[in-house]
A = this chain, B = another copy of it.
């Protein structure tokens, strides 16, 4: 495996040995290490000193179920701290088959002509992006596949990344060549845009699976992991209902963001919950799918495909809980087809649906739309496409929208929108939002399944810390959060797989050790970037304004927050 560096100013690339200190790091942890080693923490995130890093996880490249994820990161223009966003799809797998342990995109062109970077076993080529510039990801991906072939992986930005909006993510192809596996959070699409890159096309032809030190042990551990995974009851539930299953659960805990986080329950929750989604998709034509895999080899298949009720054309894949929460209940919208159309639109623009959902919640608060008005929501998103001033504001996310419109009730931490678990109702996840180096992000440590009363302040810091360390570990392996269904029942398979792959002898604590190292590096970067405990807070109004119906505020003591990683 090698480190590939591409300079976007000189258009030169280099293929280098992996430094010893990077060898047993991968994904999120490796990314954090590279950032600490190479990126000045106070740099302008959209300037030449920031880097855009692609790092497959430690176990990527073997079609282990839900274990081929790609970590993408850099300094976030949204949070101004370190950012790792990961995604399924093909990108991680293809990079690993070219022997790429990390791809580091550097510098910034002086003259701005949009480029496509293509990577294959011969090396790196630049090509002018031409008519692809300005195109949405659905159209542009189709053109790229025509140009580069059916089997490539693509990481690309939509129009939102081109104009450096802070809610812009990086879209990756799924196994069906749909560019909808987005490394969504923190504005990494703007970082890619700031380097003048519309798309990175990865052709792994002639490549090969990363080397395995002890193939027999690896095969045996894989088997144990897979059996544990497929036998876990949640695996079936996620196959049937997808993440949308979370809507009823979260509503039951009164933590479902509703009408700009003013309520924790949505009276129409049944219309947007997993059961309804499944029932709706079963009635649709053959293009609709209740279960679907984003990566080849996944046994869980939590994804889905929503097709149009009329012509059965695909609208969006997948429709996920976070989008349902932020663009549904948070906007007072109770129609899954409306939410799916909003989702398609933000996907095509290359935007984070959580951030835009939260920004639209602020837009409601500011009188720019009424809660429940899906047509107006679609109009507002289209303003992002047409680059109107309002569109640019919304496309920069909830915090800026709140600032521009003078709204106090803005649900962000470190400028990043809170996802679909209200921190006043699910307080452990609130602790994660507050203290994660990533800003508000449920994937940094969701606690909704922890055995704790979610509305009590006591014990939440420990629950969040455990979740954060585990998740940072999974993100370093390249593991989807749902692989934890398997690892929960066969935890020894984590070190067994890594040891078989690398010839190491890590013990049972490997997952948390990887997580701790990643988080420590991230905190080091953020500290040097100017973050302090003052940044580790939920919005002040959430400590004051009670959330109906439980009427709880966020009241985990600040001293506890500040000592979470001591």
List A residues at the B interface (Cβ < 8 Å): 41-44, 46-49, 163-166, 190, 193-194, 388-390, 392-393, 396, 400, 403-406, 408, 528-535, 537, 539-541, 544
> Does the CB pair B408–A42 fall under 8 Å?
no
> Does the CB pair A540–B47 fall under 8 Å?
yes
Least Cβ–Cβ distance between A386 and chain B, in angstroms = 12
When the two chains form the complex, which single residue of B44, B403, B533, B535 contacts A166, counting CB atoms closer than 8 Å? B403
Least Cβ–Cβ distance between A102 and chain B, in angstroms = 25
> Does the CB pair B408–A47 fall under 8 Å?
yes
Interface centre among A48, A164, A406, A529 (most CB of B within 10 A): A406
> Does the CB pair B528–A42 fall under 8 Å?
no
Least Cβ–Cβ distance between A87 and chain B, in angstroms = 23
Question: Which residue of the partner chain B has the closest CB to A77?
Answer: B403
Complex interface: chain B residues within 8 A of A532 (CB): 530-532
Interface centre among A393, A403, A544 (most CB of B within 10 A): A403
Q: How far is the CA of A540 from the CA of B400 in the complex (A)?
A: 22
When the two chains form the complex, which single residue of B43, B193, B392, B393 contacts A540, counting CB atoms closer than 8 Å? B43
> Does the CB pair A406–B41 fall under 8 Å?
no
Q: How far is the CA of A541 from the CA of B533 in the complex (A)?
A: 28
Complex interface: chain B residues within 8 A of A541 (CB): 44, 47
Question: Which residue of the partner chain B has the closest CB to A43?
Answer: B540
Complex interface: chain B residues within 8 A of A396 (CB): 403-404
> Does the CB pair B166–A42 fall under 8 Å?
no
Pull 18 A–B residue pairs with CB atoms less than 8 Å apart, ordered by A.
A42-B537, A43-B540, A44-B408, A46-B406, A47-B541, A48-B544, A166-B403, A190-B406, A193-B406, A389-B389, A389-B390, A392-B405, A396-B403, A400-B400, A528-B534, A529-B534, A530-B532, A530-B533
When the two chains form the complex, which single residue of B164, B406, B539 contacts A165, counting CB atoms closer than 8 Å? B406
Q: How far is the CA of A65 from the CA of B1 in the complex (A)?
A: 75
Given contacts A392-B405, A408-B47, contact A530 B540 (CB under 8 A): no
Least Cβ–Cβ distance between A53 and chain B, in angstroms = 20
